[in-house]
Chain A
Amino acid sequence: MSARLAQKIAFAVLLLATLLVVFPVIIILGIIVAKGASAISWEFLFSMPRDGMTAGGIFPAILGTLYLVLGAVLFAVPLGVLAAVYLVEYSSDNWFSRLVKLAIVNLAGVPSVVYGLFGLGIFVTFFRFGASILSGSLTLGIMILPVIITSAREALESVPRHFRTVSLSLGASHWQTIRHSVLPHALPGILTGMILGLGRAAGETAPILFTVAAFYLPRLPQSVFDQTMALPYHLYVISTQVPGIAENVRYGTALVLLTLVLLLNLAAILLRSRFRRKKKW
């Protein structure tokens, strides 16, 4: 076989593989939009469900998912970033820091239903938060902690060493150095972790199953100790548990969930690119 022919074949195989990766995404999006777009209306987005969820809107589920994502991020980002700062800037390479890093890697591999059971045991039962937004947010928060810590660690480690050296040589304390010369430059990377976490927290069903999600709740939550409906669980319910739901309502709900995740990601990406433009080295 000539070198030219081999090159052509290799190129074709690579292109095919790439297309195979993209195809399912396009098909999934296409089906969801085609079958669900007709359900989308002002009423669908902003009104309460009626008649056993066969009519009305999905507003409580949308709002519930927003609350849960917000709660998870509020809990996980500060905690995760502080832990990453400790691991990168303060701890030396000893058995303790190695153990923590190992724990984080393992945490990332835990199936989401196990997080759900963990949340049920700890937050719902032990701390007596009940099935509530608080329990659900904390459970989702713990689930996305590994992503947040790992990306924050990588972001901190990628800040050039001389930023720290120079800052210290100017008499800045260790903490001032981290605060002024390291963290600001790691922010874009930290935001990337937040984006990934956001998307995952919005889409997961298992962790909220036992900790917060309501089957059907025709009123909005009043506090963090209330249950709430949430999009992923609602989608599961109307697709498998309740007969007689119109097909376009089911696909419409999926479309809303997908759009919500995309919008959240878009907001975070815009935020990140603004920081990137400001900080260049």
Chain B
Amino acid sequence: MSMSGIAIATQRLDLFYGDFQALTAIDLQVPEREVTALIGPSGCGKSTLLRVFNRMNDLIDGVRVSGRVLVGDEDIYAPGADLLRLREKVGMVFQRPNPFPLTVFDNIAFGLAVHKLAPRREYDMIVEQALRDVLLWDDLKDKLQRSALTLSLEQQQRLCIARVLPLKPQVLLMDEPCSALDPIATLHIEELMQKLKQEYTIVIVTHNMQQAARASDRTGFMYLGKLIEFGTTARIFTQPAQELTENYISGRFG
């Protein structure tokens, strides 16, 4: 946690896939303990930007990054940066619910075991807390040894959120976390985000503009790899400064 109240900051961030420039000169400051939404048409670079923050783009061959990205006070692209530690600090929830084919309990204990964060006798307590945090405890307390794949999609997605919490991350990245869910489940996840932002900084990528308007405090609009406009959600959706932003949120393209 930094003194400035800024969880993530990028400075003149460029990203290339081979010869293709996917992000151009991104300057962004994500405030702590708020929900920040990244919106924009498909291919605008919003998911790529999200994957910069935990360096998941590193898995793709031929990715090059220039500029600076600070998570807390740490330059995460500095030579010798600790990737495993970074991903402990910055958790990620994916588009499709993707629990491991293990029990509910083992899914949540996975991160604990990998990072040896706690002695095994504390696992019960930590797993319970993680499930309480995502409001799954009452539903699942008698089903901890069931396969996670027997849960409903919404429960699976909540479980995937719960899975990153034992690592005590500072930031939660969510890559279209509701796109596989029905409208009711979507609202539930959005409510959950409001609860979680009291403790975590959340960055969400969404193609659903209503979702950004409902659930986020700040919104960044991206187009063709550039961050066109960034500001409070209320202002972006009522008084966008850029014509492009206005055209997008009023549904004239996208």
Contacts and interface: CB of A to CB of B under 8 A. Distances in A.
B110 A171 contact: no
Interface string A162-175: 11011111111100
Contact of B92 (A92, A163, A169, A180): A169
9 contacts: A92-B61, A165-B56, A165-B94, A166-B94, A168-B56, A169-B54, A171-B84, A172-B111, A280-B147
B87 A176 contact: no
Interface of B: 54, 56, 59, 61, 84-88, 91-92, 94, 96, 98, 100-101, 110-111, 113-115, 147, 149, 160, 163-164, 167
A163 B59 contact: no
A170 B111 contact: yes
Contacts of B163: 170
Nearest to A173: B84
A169 B56 contact: yes
Interface of A: 92, 162-163, 165-173, 176, 180-181, 185, 279-281
Nearest to B163: A170
Contact of A181 (B61, B96, B100, B160): B100
B98 A168 contact: no
Contacts of B110: 167, 170, 172, 180
A171 B149 contact: no
Contacts of B87: 168-171
B56 A279 contact: no
Contacts of A162: 94, 96, 98
Nearest to B149: A281
B85 A171 contact: yes
Overall SS of chain B's interface: helix
A85 B145 CA distance: 30
Contacts of B94: 162, 165-166, 169
Contacts of B98: 162, 166
A176 B59 contact: no
Given A180-B114, A280-B149, A171 B100 contact: no
A279 to B, nearest CB: 6
Contacts of A171: 84-88, 111, 114-115, 167
List the 9 closest A-B pairs by CB distance, nearest first.
Answer: A171-B87, A281-B101, A171-B88, A169-B92, A172-B114, A162-B98, A171-B84, A170-B111, A176-B114
A250 B152 CA distance: 61
Nearest to A177: B114
A103 B79 CA distance: 38
A279 B101 CA distance: 6
Contact of A170 (B96, B101, B164): B164
Nearest to A160: B98
Nearest to A162: B98
A170 B172 CA distance: 11
Contacts of A168: 56, 59, 87
A163 B100 contact: yes
Contacts of B100: 163, 166, 181
A170 B110 CA distance: 8
Name which of A166, A168, A171, A173 has the most chain B CB atoms within 10 A of its CB: A171
Given A168-B87, A170-B110, A171-B84, A185 B54 contact: no
A280 B99 CA distance: 12
A281 B114 CA distance: 22
A162 B96 CA distance: 10
Contacts of B88: 170-171
